[in-house]
Amino acid sequence: SQQGEEDPQALSIQEGENATMNCSYKTSINNLQWYRQNSGRGLVHLILIRSNEREKHSGRLRVTLDTSKKSSSLLITASRAADTASYFCATDAGPLGNQGGKLIFGQGTELSVKP
């Protein structure tokens, strides 16, 4: 069963605008990760936020985590056409020290950035 549910399923914006994607999950987690997938390629890791963190930044990416609401958001600022891709959240819910980092992926948000 899917752990993460993402919202929206698809998002279309203009270059320069910000894009926000949301992820909700059901169980307690150790960390939550965001991945990006370009058409016809494998997933690429973007950023990881641990359960005891509330916000994290990496370049134009900002991730927030609210464990009380079991939700996370990914913000891409000043979007570019090259940001067009699918974005997935993935939860690591295994017991600490066990499970080897098994991830459960959401269904993804398809982002289209128009030049």
Partner 1 sequence: DAGVIQSPRHEVTEMGQEVTLRCKPISGHNSLFWYRQTMMRGLELLIYFNNNVPIDDSGMPEDRFSAKMPNASFSTLKIQPSEPRDSAVYFCASSFWGTGQPQHFGDGTRLSIL
Residues lying near partner 1 in the complex (CB under 8 A) are found at 2, 30-31, 33, 40-45, 48, 50, 88, 92, 94, 96-97, 99-108
Nearer Cβ to partner 1, position 5 or 15? 5
Residue 99 three-state SS: helix
Q: How far is the CB of 40 from partner 1 (least distance, A)?
A: 7
CB 56 within 8 A of CB 63: yes
Nearer Cβ to partner 1, position 22 or 30? 30
Tokens of 109: 């948000």
Which pairing describes strands 61-66 and 31-37: parallel, antiparallel, or unpaired?
Answer: unpaired
Q: How far is the CB of 100 from partner 1 (least distance, A)?
A: 5
Nearer Cβ to partner 1, position 11 or 46? 46
Nearer Cβ to partner 1, position 19 or 49? 49
Sequence-ordered list of residues with C-beta below 8 angstroms from that of 18, at least 6 positions apart, any chain: 75, 76, 77, 78, 79
Q: How far is the CB of 27 from partner 1 (least distance, A)?
A: 14
- H-state helical runs in the chain: none
